[in-house]
Structure 1
Amino acid sequence: MIEVNIDEKEVRKLFLEELKEHIKKVDAELLFWDTKELTKRTSMSLSTVQKEFFYDPRFPKRKVGGKWYFPAEKTKEFLLSWLDEQV
């Protein structure tokens, strides 16, 4: 008979490390966000985004043709700063 013991805390730790690594890889794949990705990542509607921070001069954005693009890393940095400023 074979008996296997599993340390649940260690399994959870390994799982969370792998998950974080996978999330980093997925995030690294996107250089730019479009409007759809921005609203998805912020969990805000486009009208809320426009009302809250879209017109903030610090918010990184570029319009190419008729479509808005947001550099992923700079946008994340801005959003974290913006959120800290909200009281």
Structure 2
Amino acid sequence: MLSIQLNEQMIEQRFIDELQKHLEQIEQRRILWDMKELCRQTCMSENNIKEKFFYDERFPKRKIGGKWYFPAIATERFLLSWITEQPNN
């Protein structure tokens, strides 16, 4: 006779962890962000972005036609560095 015991909480947590990994992969499939997506990703307004870091020479951006585009991975790396440089108030 074979007896199997399952820890439902562990299975549920494993499922949630795997789902989160897949959702992050889907999100990273975007290669470019526009200003609307940058605002969404940072939870900042366009004016706040322009005031805080838009004109930082390290910030990756390219204007094509009349619209700004940001390479997603490079922008994410910049933002993670930028936020660590900000003073705690």
TM-score for the superposition, normalised by structure 2: 0.83
Paired position in structure 1 for 2:60 = 60
Amino acid at match of 1:84: T
Query: Where has structure 1 moved over 4 Å in runs of 4 or more?
Result: none
CA RMSD of aligned residues (A): 1.5
Paired position in structure 1 for 2:45 = 45
- 1:29 match: secondary structure: coil
Deviation at 1:68, TM superposition (A): 0.3
33-42 or 7-16, larger mean C-alpha shift: 7-16
Tell me, yes or no, if structure 1 residue 33 matches structure 2 residue 33.
Answer: yes
Paired position in structure 2 for 1:9 = 9
Deviation at 1:21, TM superposition (A): 1.9
Structure 2: stretches of 5+ with no match in the other structure: none
Deviation at 1:27, TM superposition (A): 2.0
- 1:24 match: secondary structure: helix
TM-score for the superposition, normalised by structure 1: 0.85
